[in-house]
Structure 1
Amino acid sequence: MTVTDGVGLEELAGRVDAAVGALADLEPAARAAAEELKAALEDIHRAGLTTIVTRMRADDGARPLLFDLVDDPVVRMLLTLHGILRPDPVTLAERALAGVRPQLHSHGGDVALVRVDPLGGGYVAVVRLEGACNGCSMSSVTLRELVEEALRQGLPGLRTVEVAPAEPSPALIPVEALRMPARPVEDGWVRAGRAEEIAVGEIGAPCDGVIVVNIDQRLAAYRNECAHEALPLDDAIIDMAAGTLTCPWHGFCFDAASGECVSVPGVQLEQLPLRVDEGVIWVRTGR
């Protein structure tokens, strides 16, 4: 993709990297002056961009234009460099856990993020441990420590990690229930179809106001409401390469695995707890 005056994004990034690298070759006084100039310009740009984004987000007429601008690779790079566009704590925690899951799986364990709550200017991450991670043996303690260390490394500001009680196993489901529409069961859990019915890159048929998305064989459940105007996401567009889900109504683009809006910082789909028991998908709606 090309940008202004036909200059490519990679070329622009390369020029910045080369200029920053050249600072090391300057005399100390010249390097200090150049670095101060760089810092001052960055502060000015950050303040101006923050004001622009804040005002456009607050203006119903300007908000769609802001979403389009954030999709531009240069604008996205600029906002990211200045810390204006950044993942939310839930996304950071999910990424940290995704990085440690292969090791947990190799030992017969797993972990699920329940929620991330604010705590004293930082965060507390609540997780649910499964399999070999959930126990009192030395190996389970080691796996729990592995999870906690991954979260501390991946989620700046993490204060503590809490372990939620394991979910009770679901009761056996009569064969007749498999032919019935989803219905509330045990403490707000609803049956959302079978895992094999949702192909990779597809959205499962909505039920009880819930959609289930399959990205690279990983399932995620969301309230069937776009974070913009609460319109349904049944026909959302999934981009497997980018791992995104785009609302068909106004073009809001979300990370399909976490629900974070990649168009506008701070906007989030409501992600719901999900589990799969013997191929059946269960989602906790809380309703």
Structure 2
Amino acid sequence: MGPPGLSAPEETQDDAYWRTAGDRIQTLLDASATGGPVARERAERLAGEITDLYGAALHRIIRLTGTTHSALTEEFAADDLIASLLLVHGLHPHDMTRRIEDALDKVRPYLGSHGGDVTLLGVTDTPGGAEVRLQFAGSCKTCPSSAVTLELAVEDAIHAAAPEVTAIEVVPAESAPTTGVIPAQSLLSRVHRDSHHAAHAQAVWHPVPELADLGDGEVGGFRVSDATVLACRVRDDVFAYRDRCGNCGGSLAGAALHRRMASPDPVLRCPRCHAHFDVVRAGACIDGTDSATIHLEPMPVLVRDGVLSIAAGVS
């Protein structure tokens, strides 16, 4: 039975509906408290019994498929919705380190668009939960202000895959680049130390399922929270930027992607000043050496709860 009010829903819409079931269950439990503590206790026991019942069934499914159909078990683990339920019941077939590595693989294309990468240095179990140590490589490439969005993307992916993680430490690289670009690892360490809580309190992820409708080479405008966002698809990846040209400051409405003969990746041309920006590499302007500090303002795009989402409100 699918979500009410949706006719032939897309798989992503269906995933988003069921991944938010926990919030609806909690709302119903809270509402039961109006009947007094006895009613609340009975409602919680009912929810617990149902959860345990489905948990027992999932345990049998994993036990049966794991011995005879290992490929099917891997498909279960790769499905975000099923994997989340397996995690709840402690039945996920992969250990925490494997889940974290897989999560980092999913965000590496986004980090690569900012000229960076991330390495998992280790996972440590502590009485308060698991602690993860990461090291970033590369640099933010002409847009150091996007360091907070890189951190958000990595932390969001890790916590979704391994909810038992309670702390993430960014370890600075031993040697910094000699260029004038600020190293990403330094920025992220500073974010962690000085403004971690403030930045995360201000960043809100907004589902934008319409992003999935963009075809390769298409550009579209979207309203996300109080911001106008320009998004485009390049092959399998979606990139989003705030609707403001880094050169002239005007709107990018009407902008289109143009192919370059020397590169397989397209560039976005401002319809007003005709400046060209590399949308795959953090929106850097490519119009000569004098444009090294000119860039678009990137906004992180990730699949959250099965739906393409954009983080807005990052300062």
Instruction: Quickly name the TM-score band, shorter chain normalised.
Output: 0.3 to 0.5
Q: Normalization by structure 2: what TM-score?
A: 0.38
The higher-RCO structure (CA 8 Å, 6+ apart) is 2
